[in-house]
Each structure stands twice: as structure tokens, then as C-alpha cells.
Structure 1
């Protein structure tokens, strides 16, 4: 998935190795600080710096909306979906996000809503995103997981099918496919996809989780 954050990072023109950020407080400086914080695994600080970049940018300019979208993405990473929703709503209210950038921001808004247990908004935003970034397998991965929460097995299977078409060997997609079919009551299909996920990335956290899911399938049923 190409995150909205990528569009903002491009404006910062980071060097390798990265140079120190300027001392003058400007939008470029705030973005530089955000990128550094993100690289250090500090998403909340990165979000704060992106919001400062937005505040220092022209009110109706695309830089403001992109910085707000990046802030929303970082707030999601920081497990603060309420702040993410606020930032993303402000970004989406403007005209600075176009094409794929807008689609990714809509998907992030759906993710924030799902984390807040607002499944109605999550579905609305996910469907809006699908009209723009329908070739993004993560969109359909998310849509499938959301459909499980909605109790809609048919929609979950349709969505994970789209994800599998776009990323047939992705371990995370295969792992979610196992969840979808287990939810739908098809244990054989669940086993197949979890087995494939474990084989695709045997040493990754996803591969480990797939093996644990398979072990649970094979565990003897608890006595009633």
C-alpha cells in the first residue's frame, strides 16, 4: 500500500544519511522532524510535527492537507484513532488530496473509525476509498476484516477474494483469508490459507500466527 505519508515525505527531500533538520520553524522543518520521529518509531511525535507543518502551511494549499493526512496516519500508528479521525477529516475537507492520495486518506479514515467501533463510518469511508484505490490489496484486506466485524460472511469472502487476486502470495492476506473462511464456517479453506501463510513467511510474526491458528484448529474440543 502506498501511504499518503509518502507524498509528504517527498516534499521533505530527505538525504541519506539524513541531515539535521533546520533550526528555523517552517513547514519543511516540521516535516523533517516528523520524518525523523517516524524513523525512530515515535509516531505520536511524528503526528504532532505533521500537524505543526499543516498549521504553518497556507490555509488552502495542498501542503496543509497532505500534512494533516500524514498526521492522521501517524496517529493511527500511535493507537490514537480519535486524533487520527480529526486530522483526517480536516484533510479530506480540503481540496489538496487528489486521486490516490485522497483514496489512501479515506482508507485511513475508515481504519480510524473501525478502531473507534464506528463500523458505519468505517464502511462508508472504505467504500469511498474503493472507488479510487481499488487496486490496493490492503484496501480489500481491511474491507474483509471489517465485514467480519459487521457479521457479513459473504462480503468478507468477496473482499478477501479481491485481495488475493491482487496479492496472491502475500502472507498477511493469506492469513486474513484463513480468518474469513473460518468465520464463514469453511474449516478446510481456513486450514488451506493458514498453511499457505505459514509457508509464505515461516519466520515472520504472520507465519507464527498462522501456525498458532492451525494448532488451534487441531486442538481437541473442550468437554461440555
Structure 2
């Protein structure tokens, strides 16, 4: 691949469609700038540029779900990339194999059906979190603690700890603002992404402050009041 053949946009970015090299399933779509592209080529793992954080990020640096690059291609216009990878785990921060797990046609049919019946769509039991769903939080807490101890080069969590508490606090504030904007826009898809980013940065802050997550959960347990039926 010759970087001179590529056309980056006005912001110096080029879209990258990431596919599973074996199944050809589209895993995610992200952006690369020239630096992240060079790092991807050098390390043979995917590096991207975050438009919201305005910085490089190494896929899997926090979760361990790295993507080993098998092949990279660019289109006839040289303004987009296809990256074939061998994923070490789920591509989506939600734990899904692919970020493209929502079926727009099905959701459209459900919405039309609800509107035609004049009813409000309510949450079903399977939409509420179960205990197993919180395993990812426990794993994330351990991973963040390990990152602080080992400080692996290139990891975004390492970068946050190196910059210190002021940087971490700034990121918590920025992500909280993004959550507010997504909520005001009534955009549930964007809201879940921004909420996940906020939770991650909050977990980093707790680690920096040496405050275990279980102490926060203990506070919630103390605040819990028995229902009228109990």
C-alpha cells in the first residue's frame, strides 16, 4: 500500500471498514489519520483516530479485543479503506461481535406497528440487565488496574494515567456532556455509546483515586429502600 495513493479528507481522515478476514462480516467502521494508519501497518494491529477525543486509539488496548491485520485494501478513488482482521474478541464495546447488530428494518416495522395501534412500546423483561451482564464491569475494573500497574506502551488507559488526574477529570466531564447531548437529541443509539465511554472514564478515575467499585456499589445498596410489597 502506497500512502501517496490515498486521499484523506479535509480533517486528515479516511474511513476504514473493518471486516472479519474469515467470515467477511463487517465488524465496525472507524477513521484513521496518517499516523494511526502508519501504526496499523507497523504493528499489524488496528489503530484509529477518535474524532470525539481527537487522539489515536489502539483497538483492544483496554478490552484486550485486539484486531490482527490480515490485509488492507483501498478503493479505486483512494478515499476509503477495507481492513481484513483476525479479531481476538468482540469488535463492539457492548460485547457484540459486530457494531452492526441492530436491524433497521425490524425496528422500523416495530415502530410502525406501535404507532398504528396507538400504544407505547414498553421494555420487556429481557431488556433489563442481569447479574451476568455486569461481569464486563468487573473485568474492566481489573483490566484498568492492570494497565496502571504495567503501563503498556500505546494503550489509551496508560495515556490517561500518564497525563494524570486533571486529564482524567477532563475526559469524564467531556463524556458526561456527550451523554447529555445524546439524551437531549433523543438518540438512544448514540446515548448507549456515550454512556459506555462515560462509565469507562469514571472507572479510570476510581482507579486513579484508589476507590474500589464495590465501595460505590455498597453506597447504592445502603440507599436501596424495600418496596411496598416486601
Q: TM-score range with shorter-chain normalisation?
A: under 0.3
TM-score calculated relative to the size of structure 2: 0.25
Structure scoring higher RCO (CA < 8 A, sep ≥ 6) equals 2
Structure with the larger strand share: 2
Greater share of residues in helix: 1
